[in-house]
Chains A and B, each alone.
Chain A
Amino acid sequence: MDEISLLNRVRADVPERTPDDVIRGRAALLRAIEAPPAPARSRRPHRPWIWVGSAVAATCALTGVFVFGGALGAPVGADPAAAAVLGSAATAARSVVDPVVGPGQYLEIQTDAVYAASGTTEADAEVARQERDGNLEDGDFTSFLESDVQALWVPADRSGDWVAVRCARTAVQTFGPRSETFAAEMGIVGGDSRQVFPAGKTEYGAPITMFDADTAADLPRDPRQLLERIYEENGSAGPSRDGEALVWLADRLRSGTVPAELRSVFYETAALIPGVTITEEQATLNGRTGTAIGRDEGANGFRQDIIIDPETGAFIGERQVLLTPAADMPAGTATGSTSVTTTVVDAAPEGTSLCAG
């Protein structure tokens, strides 16, 4: 029994609340909700338009004084140069024919990712324990970058066996002596693993989530409608609604299973997002070069990029770039990057040879 399954049992039989307690708690909450707001609340700095969709509409209706640029229906869109690159990629993607998975074949989706692992060295953690009751401060953190390579083989017949291989995560970049110490202490995380999921379900019956035809069919093909839909779905998530919209697109593109015609719509949608610019003319990810398109999230200190090939419309990958130094990493470090390749193969591998390469 490992420590996680053991902890799952610890105090698992803690008594539930009685129905009376639940109702009392609810009533107390409602009383507090209906009480007049404390005077301090009105002096709180107002939050600009990060409440999207219905919230913005409601706020406007109530106050009648909310005015902002780039409102829904008054588009500003991406920087012209970025829009041109996205437009070119969108056009190219329209003529791409997606690979067809024939009977007995597999769709192979390989994801090569690099992530920043941040934390404290044992020594710094000990100091924090001795002097600060275990509370860590910003200066205690250091980081290193580690690779995370995985692949999924999806059978043509989805009720067959799906195969997933995940390679041990290893450090690929450190940032000075403290970072090296930390990387050494963390060691190699996990081993190479190969798992089989009958009918694409885990042993608990949860399906392996992927961007599939149903999900694709459900999305509008009109870029402006899609952008509205994205704003709505994201709610108030993320540092800004436009930044989060680009993250939404990157999240789906990263799945490696967005059909070419929809990829084309995604590029056109990105071209409508205010603040999107070319962030690097020649960006290389995992050996492939393309144009990086991104959006600075000043408040959050990072930039989401997608890297595309304007000539072929191929999605090469995406990354989050740090804008200010943090946890021993200099500005400009990609704290997360993913490149994805999707192909059709005749068989899923028996072992974990993927990890040897």
Chain B
Amino acid sequence: MSTHDGDIIVRSLTHGAAFADLYDRHERVVHRYIGRRLGTAFAEDITSETFLVAFARRASFTGGLDARPWLLGIATVLMQKHARLEARAWRGMLAADIARIHVDDIETADERMDADGLAPHLGTALADLSRGDRDVLLLHTFGDLDYAGIAEALGIPLGTVRSRLSRARRKVRAAIAPHVSPAPGREREHHRG
């Protein structure tokens, strides 16, 4: 019989050390999520804090099989005190923040982008989002949560997740649209040549 996160948390109510299993399962995804939003300098501390807070509140865990939404929700709240820092980091976003795209991808992609031109606009768009909208968008993309997971993480209704995500996407799309252009093969060569 497999053990799911709910089992671990229930067991940890009486046997605290069992909670370390939850750390082993999810520390990486929590650390990555924080690292991508705030940078690795903060990720270490906030990851630790996330699990300490989660342990202290484990009795009120109301999720089911998967504790990721709950953990990422706690991490999101803990990052709020660094919201200004995060916004500053987004405003200073560089092309290097957009991971290199393999040449093969460019060959087959129907759209091509100019990372240098794009990054500041993308960063500014992210910085300008309301905190609620940004949390939803980044839990979706960096936290890899589905709508239900985001709703659970932030304690908001599913409909709110949908509407926040749709608004956030619309704003980001509007900001980057001028910098992502269709690139049929021939034109591309002219540009590069």
Tell whether A and B belong to one assembly. Answer: yes
> Using Cβ atoms and an 8 Å threshold, which residues of chain B touch A116?
157, 159
> Using Cβ atoms and an 8 Å threshold, which residues of chain B touch A54?
10-11
Tell me which of B35, B44, B52, B83 contacts A133 (CB under 8 A).
B83
A223 within 8 A of B: no
Do A25 and B44 touch (CB < 8 A)? yes
> Using Cβ atoms and an 8 Å threshold, which residues of chain A touch B140?
4
Q: How far is the CA of A120 from the CA of B132 in the complex (A)?
A: 10
- Scan residues 321-337 of chain A and give those whose CB is less than 8 A from a CB of chain B: 335-336
Tell me which of A9, A25, A47 contacts B47 (CB under 8 A).
A25
Q: Provided the pairs A1-B180, A10-B97, A58-B14 are in contact, do residues A135 and B23 lie with their beta carbons within 8 angstroms?
A: no
Residue of A nearest to B123 (CB): A10
> Using Cβ atoms and an 8 Å threshold, which residues of chain A touch B133?
125
Q: Provided the pairs A25-B44, A51-B59 are in contact, do residues A1 and B113 lie with their beta carbons within 8 angstroms?
A: yes
Among A51, A116, A119, A135, the one with the most B-chain Cβ atoms within 10 Å of its Cβ is A119
Q: How far is the CA of A10 from the CA of B118 in the complex (A)?
A: 12
Do B35 and A118 touch (CB < 8 A)? no
> Using Cβ atoms and an 8 Å threshold, which residues of chain B touch A8?
141
Q: How far is the CA of A135 from the CA of B131 in the complex (A)?
A: 6
Residue of B nearest to A58 (CB): B14
Q: How far is the CA of A133 from the CA of B176 in the complex (A)?
A: 24
- Scan residues 14-66 of chain B and give those whose CB is less than 8 A from a CB of chain A: 14, 16-17, 19-20, 23-24, 27-28, 31-32, 35-36, 40, 43-44, 47-48, 51-52, 55, 59-65
Do A6 and B166 touch (CB < 8 A)? no
Residue of A nearest to B176 (CB): A3
What interface size band does chain B fall in? 35 or more
Q: How far is the CA of A236 from the CA of B61 in the complex (A)?
A: 7
Q: How far is the CA of A10 from the CA of B97 in the complex (A)?
A: 6
Q: How far is the CA of A237 from the CA of B172 in the complex (A)?
A: 34
Q: How far is the CA of A226 from the CA of B3 in the complex (A)?
A: 19
> Using Cβ atoms and an 8 Å threshold, which residues of chain B touch A9?
98-99, 101
Q: How far is the CA of A54 from the CA of B11 in the complex (A)?
A: 8
B124 within 8 A of A: no
Do A30 and B10 touch (CB < 8 A)? no
Stretch at the interface among A12-20, A100-108, A277-285: A12-20
For residue A99, give the distance in angstroms from its CB to the closest CB of chain B.
30
A218 within 8 A of B: no
Do B157 and A335 touch (CB < 8 A)? yes
> Using Cβ atoms and an 8 Å threshold, which residues of chain B touch A7?
137-138, 141-142, 172
> Using Cβ atoms and an 8 Å threshold, which residues of chain B touch A28?
48, 52
Q: How far is the CA of A115 from the CA of B161 in the complex (A)?
A: 12
Among B9, B51, B162, the one with the most A-chain Cβ atoms within 10 Å of its Cβ is B162
Do A6 and B157 touch (CB < 8 A)? no
> Using Cβ atoms and an 8 Å threshold, which residues of chain B touch A88?
none
Do B6 and A235 touch (CB < 8 A)? yes
Cross-chain pairs A/B with CB under 8 angstroms, 13 sampled: A9-B98, A9-B101, A10-B36, A10-B99, A11-B36, A13-B100, A17-B47, A55-B14, A117-B159, A134-B132, A236-B9, A237-B62, A335-B157
Q: A6-B113, A10-B97, A117-B162 are in contact. List 17 more A-B contacts (CB 8 A).
A: A7-B138, A15-B35, A17-B28, A29-B23, A29-B52, A30-B17, A51-B59, A58-B14, A115-B162, A117-B163, A118-B156, A134-B131, A135-B130, A186-B163, A233-B64, A235-B4, A236-B9
Q: Which residues of B contact A (CB under 8 A)?
A: 4, 6-7, 9-11, 13-14, 16-17, 19-20, 23-24, 27-28, 31-32, 35-36, 40, 43-44, 47-48, 51-52, 55, 59-65, 83, 93, 97-101, 109, 111, 113, 118, 122, 129-133, 137-138, 140-142, 156-160, 162-164, 166-167, 169, 172-173, 176, 180
Q: Which residues of A contact B (CB under 8 A)?
A: 1-4, 6-17, 21-22, 25-26, 28-30, 32-34, 47, 50-51, 53-55, 58-59, 62, 115-120, 125, 128-129, 133-136, 141, 143, 182, 185-186, 189, 233-239, 335-336
